[in-house]
Structures are given as structure tokens and as C-alpha cells.
Amino acid sequence: MAVGSAISSPLGPAACDKDAKALQFIEETTRNADLVQEKVLAEILARNANTEYLKRFNLNGATDRDTFKSKLPMITYEDLQPEIQRIANGDRSPILSAHPISEFLTSSGTSAGERKLMPTIQEELDRRQLLYSLLMPVMNLYVPGLDKGKGLYFLFVKSETKTPGGLLARPVLTSYYKSEHFKTRPYDPYNVYTSPNEAILCPDSFQSMYTQMLCGLIQRNQVLRLGAVFASGLLRAIRFLQLNWTQLVHDLKTGTLNPKITDLALKETMTRILKPDPEMSNFITKECSKENWEGILTRIWPNTKYLDVIVTGAMAQYIPTLDYYSGGLPLACTMYASSECYFGLNLNPMCKPSEVSYTIMPNMAYFEFLPHEPNSAGWTTRDSPPKLVDLVDVEVGKEYELVISTYAGLCRYRVGDILRVTGFHNSAPQFHFVRRKNVLLSIDSDKTDEAELQKAVENALQLLKEFNTSVVEYTSYADTKTIPGHYVIYWELLVKDSANSPSGEVLSQCCLAMEESLNSVYRQGRVADNSIGPLEIRVVKNGTFEELMDYAISRGASINQYKVPRCVNFTPIMELLDSRAVSTHFSPALPHWTPERKR
């Protein structure tokens, strides 16, 4: 029985005193959502009153909502580019934030092909830590006994660079895992990982994954939950096991470590953990050598109660594959966050993926909402901007774009996420993540928009010029049936001189040319993370796109307004396209990528 099951909270009986405090915090903060928001805005505006950015709008020391709303414009990353560039170049004056910028967080959202740089301040780490500290107390309400075992989480650091002015630039999770908050976290029986810090912090992704998997196998009977940040990450771990299990079972049998593990700190840690265990090795060999990997996760880790991975938004495409490998274990989506700001958590984490709603925590930043008409093109700068709605005033059933003002100095900044209100917890709204604006294709953390795809096609077209060949029409598809997933681009070609048509070799080079032109997050996924497979072109028969139009019209599309969809995922359309494919071509090499930014 849970130690403190007598400690009740409106969310349910807390598992221990620490949980009770966390649940009480959630209750108080959500009950007083509007007051908390008012206080957060006043704090942000007071501390940043003398920043160059706020002074520009003549707030004259005002910290109230009305003045803020009447004087500050809503902005995007592009609007802040000049300020961000100055900070990156070493200008330490208070431009956006009165507190010194401690580092840049590199978002998976891009601007001109490079990751966006989000300035952050030291104390934001505490705010992120606070949100993390609420996750297990909520989970313990639904899954008892998580203190009786461990979590096998595949967590990784990524490469970091320095800006010309000497500030670190790295992903938010890399920053968190390398912080003392994570490295020297106090022991918490409800939050014990099988992966040692040395494995998580190893910068070499093979060594990191290998040792995390090995530790997970060694402690297989203790594992109660399995996870990664995103669904794609957990599937990558399964793929890794498929490719490396023979070496892993060898290590388990002999108690010796794969010589490819060369990181000294990691080797030393693994020597302490790894002992010969022929019985375990035989068991894993038996399971992994079976042809059928259905339910492999529960066979190897039989005590797993749920998978802890984000499967909302673009990650929903992985649900069927995860179900296959896990035999249908519950999928828990616990939080909603970004490099700009951590937003909130799921108060009912064991619900079905389609029902996941995130409760935005009013203490994290000042939140506003731009009403979003699902079928409209959005407002243009010529219209007067629609009014932004406050956190507690959003309406159930409506869609909004999230706009934030943060302690680090972003003011009325459009995050680019579209959310739908599903209900309230006390006076804090809960949101279904609808989608990220303008994202056409996504496999892992990559986000490719229509303009980027268009540019990539144009880049590849250069190679077809000498063959007097053009692309009549194209569309795309994120194929996640393979692990890792990959982009598929359907091309209908117009070959004007059939005696000189482009060879298969040339079309493969076209795949690579497209990859070279995609953004750096895509190329990093291909090169460093191995999270995206080679891009594929499927050439379809002449007339296929006309058939596609006929099909759309037969289903009610207007002939006048018909536009070729630049991305497809509706099964009958995929079937039509695939049945007309005449050849397929894959990128023959990796595109260029280095951690250094172009600008």
C-alpha cells in the first residue's frame, strides 16, 4: 500500500508526503490560475523594465495587463533575429532580459535552415525542474508501486557549439541532463533509472545507446516503465537492439564490455555493473533470435506497466508500431514543453493517446492565445490583429495558437503550436495538441515545411536539366513503417527526349540533392542521430496526378480550387500513388552536416 495513501488531494490520494506537496501545488496554482498569471506578468515586466526591448514600447514601469496588451506587439522568431544575433555575437547589455543570458537553447524549429536560438537564463532551469518534479506525483496516482523498481529511459545529449560571443548553444534536454539539477539529483525511490549518468552523458550516440541498453537488459526484471522523450526515440532503441543484440548478449554472457565502448568514465561505470550472467544471456538470445518481434518489449521487460513517450502531435504516427512491439501497453504522454518554455503536464497520463490533454501550468510564463480558425488562411498584416485571449478565458472546443511571454525575455512570442481546449482543471485550461503550424513532414524532431520541400525539389531539378526533364507534379509522405522512418517524394516526370532520360543513378543523386537542401535538423537526424533514413523518390506514371485530382473531385473537392496536396497520408491516396510507381530511388550518401551553424 502507498505509504501516505491517507494524504488526500482533489487529484487523488498521494503516494507519499513529497507527492502530496506537489499535488497541492498543482491544485493551488490551477485554482488561482488568473492571479498567478497576473503575478507572473508583473514579475516579468518589473524585472525586465530596463531592457532595451521593453523600453522601446514605453511601458514606463507599468506591469499591468492592459498596458502590456495595448503596447506590445505579437511577434515571431524572425522579428527578434537582430536582437538574438547581437546576443549571440557577445553583446551582454540587457537587450531582452535583465538577467544575464546563460546560454542559447537550440530549438528543433528552424529559421533560414538553421535551428532557432532561444536565449535562456539560469533560473529557467529551476522552473523546468519544478515541472519535472510534478510528473511522478501525478503518475503515482494512477500506477501504484513505481518505487519498487526502475525506469529504463533512453536519454541522450547532443552536440553543442559556441556562438561567436562565447555562449553555449545546445538543445534544452542536453542543457538539463548536463545540469547539476539532473546530475546530482537526490535519490527518489519513485524515479530511479537503469541508465547511469555516465551513459546518458556520453556524447557518442552509439556508446550511449549501447550501454543504456545493456544496463536495461541487466536489470530487466526491475524495469517497471520504459521510455524516451518521443516515440521515435523508443523505436530507435528497439531497432538498435535488433542490430546489436548478438554483441549485447556476448557481453552479458562473458561479463566483458564491447571494445567499442571507449569512453573512460563510462567504461569504469560499466565494469562495476556488468557481471557474467549466462542465464540472462541465453534468455535474451532466445527472444531476440525469434523471427517475430511482436510484443518483444514485454517479453524482455516483463514487469513494464507503461511506455513513457510522447505520442501526441506528429508522433501519433508511431502508435501502431509501438503497440506492435509492446503488445498494447498503455502509452503515457506526461508533458508538453519547448525550448522557449516548459508549458504543462498531463494530469491523466494513463488515458488513451487520442484523449491526451495538457494542463498549462500558470506559473511557467504568461500565456495568451490567438484564436485560430481551422480552415482560414489566418490574418494578414493588413487586417487589424485579432485580440489575444488570456489563459483562463479560452473557450472549450475552440482552437488557438499559443503566444508566450517568458522570464527570459520573449514577449508575446508566437510558439507556432495550435491547441484545442478540451476542458479545465480548476481554472486552468487543458489542451489537446492539434498540430504545429506549417509542418508538412516530420520523422523525429525534424520539421519540414512546404517552402523547404519546394526548395529541395528545385535543387534536385538542377540535375535533370541536362536530360531535358522536368517534374510535372510532386507530393510527399513521411514513411514510418521503416525504422528509422524516411521521407518519400512522389515525382511525376516529363521526359522530353526519351533517348536521353535520366538514369536511376541520376535520380538517386536527386534524392541526395534534396537532402542537402533540407534544414539542419533534418540533416543532423540523418548524419549524427541516425533517426531519419535515406530520402526516397518514387517516380509515378504520367497522368497519376490527374488521377489524384479526379479522386479528390469525386470526393467533393472543387475543380477551381483544387491544389495538389504537398503531403499525403490518406490510405486510398497512398495506394493510388504506390500502384502507379514505376521506379524507386534512394539517397546514396549522407548529406553534409556539422554542429557549426552557417550563421
Where in 255-274 is the site for ligand AMP (CB under 6 A)? none
| Number of residues lying near ligand AMP (CB under 6 A) | 17
Residue in the block written with cell 518521443:
230
Binding pattern to ligand AMP, positions 161-180, x when CB under 6 A? -----------x--------
Q: Is the peptide bond before 330 cis (omega within 30 degrees of 0)?
A: no
523-542: b (≥16 Cβ within 10 Å) or e: bbbbbebbbbbbbbbbbbee
Contact status: 119 vs ligand AMP (CB under 6 A) = no
Choose one: 39-47, 101-109, 299-307, 369-377; the region binding ligand AMP (CB under 6 A): 101-109
Of 37, 97, 102, 107, which one interacts with ligand AMP (CB under 6 A)?
Answer: 107
Name 111's bridge partners.
114
Specify whether the CB–CB gap between 405 and 41 falls below 8 A. Answer: yes
Binding pattern to ligand AMP, positions 272-311, x when CB under 6 A? --------------------------------------x-
Select 417 or 492, whichever has its Cβ closest to ligand AMP.
417
Select 108 or 363, whichever has its Cβ closest to ligand AMP.
108
Select 53 or 104, whichever has its Cβ closest to ligand AMP.
104
Select 313 or 429, whichever has its Cβ closest to ligand AMP.
313
Cα dihedral 208, 127, 81, 431 in deg (nearest 10):
90
Contact status: 333 vs ligand AMP (CB under 6 A) = yes
Contact status: 433 vs ligand AMP (CB under 6 A) = yes
Select 310 or 365, whichever has its Cβ closest to ligand AMP.
310
In sign, the C-alpha dihedral spanning 92, 93, 97, 100 is: positive
Specify whether the CB–CB gap between 436 and 314 falls below 8 A. Answer: yes
Contact status: 577 vs ligand AMP (CB under 6 A) = no
Select 310 or 370, whichever has its Cβ closest to ligand AMP.
310
Choose one: 39-47, 107-115, 245-253, 362-370; the region binding ligand AMP (CB under 6 A): 107-115
Contact status: 109 vs ligand AMP (CB under 6 A) = yes
Nearest approach, Cβ of 436 to ligand AMP (angstroms)? Answer: 4
Residue 21 CB-density burial (10 A; 0-12 exposed, 13-18 middle, 19+ buried): middle
Q: Which residues are within 8 A (CB) of 236 and not within 5 positions of it... i.e. 6 or more apart?
A: 154, 209, 228, 483, 484, 530, 531
Contact status: 77 vs ligand AMP (CB under 6 A) = no
Q: Which amino acid is at 89?
A: N
Of 108, 211, 363, 430, which one interacts with ligand AMP (CB under 6 A)?
Answer: 108
Number of neighbours of residue 26 by Cβ within 10 angstroms = 23
Contact status: 312 vs ligand AMP (CB under 6 A) = yes
Select 230 or 325, whichever has its Cβ closest to ligand AMP.
230
What is the C-alpha separation between 159 and 177, in angstroms, rounded?
13
What is the C-alpha separation between 260 and 268, in angstroms, rounded?
14
Contact status: 353 vs ligand AMP (CB under 6 A) = no
Contact status: 520 vs ligand AMP (CB under 6 A) = no
What is the C-alpha separation between 402 and 137, in angstroms, rounded?
27
Choose one: 86-94, 126-134, 334-342, 347-355; the region binding ligand AMP (CB under 6 A): 334-342
Contact status: 44 vs ligand AMP (CB under 6 A) = no
Q: Which residues are within 8 A (CB) of 16 and not within 5 positions of it... i.e. 6 or more apart?
A: 2, 3, 4, 7, 140, 190
Of 436, 455, 461, 470, which one interacts with ligand AMP (CB under 6 A)?
Answer: 436
Specify whether the CB–CB gap between 534 and 487 falls below 8 A. Answer: no
Of 77, 336, 490, 593, which one interacts with ligand AMP (CB under 6 A)?
Answer: 336
Q: Is 115 helix (H, G, I), strand (E, B) or coil?
A: strand
Supply the DSSP string of 421-484, one letter for each residue: EEEEETTEEEEEEEEETT--B-SSS--B-HHHHHHHHHHHHGGGGGGTEEEEEEEEEEE-SSSS
Select 229 or 300, whichever has its Cβ closest to ligand AMP.
229
Residues that bind ligand AMP in the complex, under the rule CB under 6 A? 107-109, 172, 310, 312-313, 333, 336-339, 415, 417, 433, 436, 445
